[in-house]
């Protein structure tokens, strides 16, 4: 399998060349184009119950698609995957470790990466991030997409992140919801509830927040 992220960072999309028998798993609706040498099969995202939980509480898609190169010999298949928001995409390598992804960040993964659902807690719900989140683990590559650019950041102590900017984090990261400042400043300053992220570990932030865009657009409607 060869992969390349093109048109970065504003309109990133993933181009994957699959050799015979190879499979890539993609978020439902991520496929933009594929050659006729592929076979697409839908399956539940993180098992049946996990998928249903994520659909209900996380607003995620119920299915993911397995896209396989269905021809033999020297032929190959090509597939282009995109994400719904304009922004960057990055590839992360898993070597037996795992990562938590926030709603909407997952784009695709190689066949050996396991998708499951992790309990995010009531604090996460308060922070507007839902009760469940996607957990990717195993060995392989996972592609995540964000709105705007994606910046990784090593966390040792505590960092305050506005809700909607955190898209992925390692399981060693602790997240609590809290107010940005005092009660007055938090709500009238427009920041409201934020996430307090404690290390050690790495987090991935997107530079734009889709809710911010939505409320900005709303002001013209």
Partner 1 sequence: MSTYLGGVFDDALPEGRAAATITVWRHGVEARLEAGKVYTIRSEVLRLERGGSTGRMLFIRGQDPRLTLFSEAPGLLEEIGTTSGLEARNAVATLTAEVAKTRRATLSLWLIAAAVLVVLGLVTPPLFRVAVDGAVGQLPLSLDVKLGDLASSEITSFGPAITDERAAGLATEILERLRPHLPPDIAALDLKITVIESAEVNAFALPGGRMAVLSGLLKRADDVNMVAAVFAHELMHVRHRHGIRALVQSAGVLALVSVVFGDATGIVALLAQGGVLATLTHYGREHESQADLDGVALTAAAGFDPAGMPAFFRKLKEIAPSSEVQEALSWMSSHPSHEERIAAIEALIPSLTRGEDPPMNHTLEAARAALRGE
Residue in 77, 175, 194, 205 binding partner 1, rule: CB under 8 A:
175
Backbone angles phi, psi at 81, to 5 degrees: -115, 140
* 55 vs 63: CA distance, rounded Å: 9
* 118 interacts with partner 1 by CB under 8 A: yes
* 204 interacts with partner 1 by CB under 8 A: no
Q: 130 — alpha (psi -120 to 50), left (phi > 0) or beta?
A: left
Q: Which listed range, 2-10, 23-31, 42-50, 173-181, lies at the site for partner 1 (CB under 8 A)?
A: 173-181
Q: Which listed range, 51-59, 95-103, 104-112, 143-151, lies at the site for partner 1 (CB under 8 A)?
A: 95-103
Q: Is 185 helix (H, G, I), strand (E, B) or coil?
A: helix
Provide the CB-side half-sphere exposure for 72 (13 A, CA).
0
* 221 interacts with partner 1 by CB under 8 A: no
DSSP string over 161-175: EETT-EEEE-TT-EE
Q: Which listed range, 5-13, 43-51, 78-86, 92-100, lies at the site for partner 1 (CB under 8 A)?
A: 92-100
* 151 interacts with partner 1 by CB under 8 A: no
Q: Which listed range, 22-30, 35-43, 59-67, 90-98, lies at the site for partner 1 (CB under 8 A)?
A: 90-98
* 95 interacts with partner 1 by CB under 8 A: yes
* 211 interacts with partner 1 by CB under 8 A: no
* 72 interacts with partner 1 by CB under 8 A: no
Joined tokens for residue 217: 């657009």
SS3 for 101-150 is ECCCCEEEEECCEEEEEEECCHHHHHCCCCCEEEEEEEEEEEEEECCECE
* 106 interacts with partner 1 by CB under 8 A: no
Minimum distance between the CB of residue 133 and partner 1, rounded to whole angstroms? 9
Residue in 4, 188, 200, 211 binding partner 1, rule: CB under 8 A:
200
* 97 interacts with partner 1 by CB under 8 A: yes
* 169 interacts with partner 1 by CB under 8 A: yes
Question: Whose structure tokens read 């066949």?
Answer: 111
Chain centre to alpha carbon of residue 81:
13
* 119 interacts with partner 1 by CB under 8 A: yes
> In the chain, what is the straight-line distance between the N-terminal and C-terminal CA atoms, in Å?
46
* 96 interacts with partner 1 by CB under 8 A: yes
* 147 interacts with partner 1 by CB under 8 A: no
* 101 vs 144: CA distance, rounded Å: 8
Joined tokens for residue 219: 């002001």
Q: CB-based contacts of 185: which residues, under 8 Å, 6+ apart?
A: 191
| Interface contacts to partner 1, rule CB under 8 A | 95-97, 100, 118-120, 154, 169-175, 198, 200-202
């Amino acid at each position: 399998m060869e992969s390349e992220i093109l048109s970065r960072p504003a309109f990133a999309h993933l181009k994957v060349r699959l050799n015979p028998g190879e499979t890539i798993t993609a978020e439902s609706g991520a496929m933009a184009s594929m050659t006729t040498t592929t076979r697409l099969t839908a399956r539940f995202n993180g098992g049946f119950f996990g998928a249903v939980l994520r659909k209900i509480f996380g607003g995620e898609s119920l299915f993911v698609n397995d896209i396989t190169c269905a021809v033999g010999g020297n032929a190959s298949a090509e597939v282009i995957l995109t994400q719904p928001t304009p922004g960057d995409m990055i590839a992360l390598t898993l070597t037996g470790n795992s990562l938590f992804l926030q709603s909407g960040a997952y784009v695709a993964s190689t066949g050996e990466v396991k998708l499951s659902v992790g309990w995010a807690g009531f604090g996460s719900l308060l922070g507007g991030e839902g009760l469940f989140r996607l957990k990717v683990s195993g060995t392989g590559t996972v592609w995540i997409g964000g709105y705007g650019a994606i910046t990784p950041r090593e966390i040792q102590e505590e960092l305050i992140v506005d809700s909607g900017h955190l898209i992925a984090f390692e399981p060693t990261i602790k997240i609590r919801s809290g107010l940005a400042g005092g009660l007055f400043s938090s709500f009238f300053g427009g920041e409201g509830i934020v996430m307090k992220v404690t290390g050690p570990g790495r987090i991935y932030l997107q530079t734009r927040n889709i809710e911010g865009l939505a409320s900005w657009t709303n002001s013209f409607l």
